[in-house]
Amino acid sequence: MISGLKSALWLLFLAGLFVSCHHDKKKKEVPAIDLGPVINPVERPVDSLLTKETEALWVNLKRLKGKGILFGQQDATTSGADWKHPISLSDVKQVTGTYPAVYGWEISGIGNTRNIDSIPFAVMTKRIAEVFNRGGVNTITWHLGNPVTAGTAWDTYPAVREILPDSIQHEYYKSQLQEVASFFNQLKSAGGVPIPIIFRPFHENNGNWFWWGKGHCTREEYIRLWQFTVSYLRDSLHVHNLLYAYSTDMFESTEQYLERYPGDEWVDILGCENYWDFQSGATISNGIAQLRMLVNMAAQRKKLAALTECGFDGLPIKNWWTQYLLTPIKDDSVARNISYLMVWRNANRKHFYVPFPGQKSFQDFLLFEQDTFTIFEKDLRDLYVIK
Ligand code: BMA
């Protein structure tokens, strides 16, 4: 059996060599995108040169699957409902006594002093190291401004085709990735350990609100952008502390989810972002159905699954945390296998996703934290060592 399998793999390898040489001779183009069926998935991350702590994160998140869900918040220690850096508090900690397990950060504006939300990159670097030292997990999004118009990420001029290899703005895109790589490469603990990051670029790609969204590039363009981004960071710029999360917004079927999926070799975490479905009793089952599909797709491919963004801006429902989010997920034998869920940032008292003392959902958030299935910092075991 094994030697049969080996020779089959060998043949496939030779065939691959032949095909790629053949292509090379004809023209030097980005290879055709063939995602193919999922065959004999291999349990390995996108980057075979991952730092050992990043690999440990991948292994330990897999081991935790089904045992609990890590809770996270965007900008948790740089921005609160009533404070902003240089103060460093955490609304999660103020309310529950413990920090979240996952922290989201935003690098739009990289190359400048501050990001899109006025957080200095130097402050972010410091906070990211603090998170790592406390045993928490860092994840980063990139609302890259439109590279052609110099507008924001929400400027939907179709720029993807113009930043791909051999296109007019490609060098500019590469220069942006060089900024990103030097940021990632300088994220180190006091002892010099590179800090693992879950990187989630070009998210919510099945919506139309970002320039990389569905209406503004073809499937092939999106996939080429993803693959170029990963290979340039990993192979040319030697960034080896990243797990790559691919996240759509809400979706209706596995086919729809996979339409722009860049392929198993290019993704470590299958994510989705869903604010809407968990905000009303009438739609929670849709949200759960999507998480079930997500978990199943991830399991088939030996990947992780996560609800990479969710939440309810302004938290208008008293028992939202336990009744709309936690119980439906925890009670579903499939959906409960997501690794983490993350709510968005507390910008001020009008735009917030975690309660502050006295807020309507405050007591319920305490119950959410106390539930044995949610993992906050105090519940974490060492995610950065393989035991
Ligand atoms: C949005 C809002 C904006 C913010 C952006 C990027 O959802 O919170 O205020 O600039 O995310 O963080």
Q: Is the pLDDT of residue 11 over 50?
A: no
CA of 43 to the centre of ligand 1 (A): 34
Sequence-distant (6+) residues with CB within 8 A of 194 are 51, 53, 54, 185, 187, 188, 240, 241
Q: What's the chain's average pLDDT?
A: 92
Predicted TM-score (pTM) of this structure: 0.90
Q: How is residue 324 written in tokens?
A: 């709309």
How much of the chain exceeds pLDDT 70, in percent?
Answer: 89
CA of 127 to the centre of ligand 1 (A): 19
For residue 75, give the ligand 1 atom closest to its CA: 12
Q: Which of 84, 209, 227 is nearest to 155 (CA)?
A: 209
**Which residue among 121, 143, 276 has the greatest number of ligand 1 atoms within 8 angstroms of its CB, and so is best to mutate?**
143
Over residues 42-60, the mean pLDDT reads 94
Looking at residue 157, its pLDDT comes to: 98
What is the β-pairing status of strands 69-74 and 304-310?
unpaired
Please tell me whether the peptide bond between 86 and the residue prior to it is cis, using omega within 30 degrees of 0.
yes
Burial 90-126 (b: 16+ CB within 10 A, else e): bbbbbbbebbbbbbbbbbebbeeeebbbebbbebbbe
Determine the distance from the C-alpha atom of residue 384 to the mean position of all C-alpha atoms in its chain, rounded to a whole number.
18
| Active-site annotation, residues | 204, 309
- 47 near 240, Cβ under 8 Å? yes
- 243 near 234, Cβ under 8 Å? no
Residue nearest to atom 9 of ligand 1 (CA): 117
Looking at residue 13, its pLDDT comes to: 40
Q: Is the pLDDT of residue 80 over 50?
A: yes
Q: Is the pLDDT of residue 100 over 50?
A: yes
Q: Is the pLDDT of residue 28 over 80?
A: no
Looking at residue 41, its pLDDT comes to: 58
Looking at residue 235, its pLDDT comes to: 98
Looking at residue 309, its pLDDT comes to: 98
Looking at residue 143, its pLDDT comes to: 98
Q: Which of 46, 151, 162, 119 is nearest to 346 (CA)?
A: 119
Q: pLDDT tens digit string along 312-354?
A: 999 999 999 999 999 999 999 999 999 999 999 999 999 999 9
Burial (CB count <10 Å: 0-12, 13-18, 19+), residue 23: middle
Residue nearest to atom 8 of ligand 1 (CA): 345
Q: How is residue 112 written in tokens?
A: 């400048």
Over residues 65-91, the mean pLDDT reads 96
Any residues with Cβ below 6 Å from ligand 1, and which? 106, 116-117, 143, 344-345, 347
Looking at residue 32, its pLDDT comes to: 53
Looking at residue 12, its pLDDT comes to: 42
What is the torsion angle, in degrees rounded to the nearest 10, for the CA atoms of residue 26, residue 173, residue 273 and residue 96? 140
Looking at residue 43, its pLDDT comes to: 81
CA of 192 to the centre of ligand 1 (A): 31
Q: Is the pLDDT of residue 72 over 60?
A: yes
Residue by residue, DSSP assigns 125-182 as: HHHHHHHHHTT-EEEEEE-PPPTTT---TT-----HHHHSTTSTTHHHHHHHHHHHHH
Over residues 194-199, the mean pLDDT reads 98
Residue nearest to atom 4 of ligand 1 (CA): 117
- 169 near 176, Cβ under 8 Å? no
Sequence-distant (6+) residues with CB within 8 A of 145 are 108, 109, 151, 152, 153, 155
Burial 139-163 (b: 16+ CB within 10 A, else e): bbbbbbbbbbeeeebeebebbbbbb
Q: Is the pLDDT of residue 1 over 70?
A: no
Looking at residue 40, its pLDDT comes to: 55
Residue nearest to atom 3 of ligand 1 (CA): 117
Looking at residue 129, its pLDDT comes to: 98
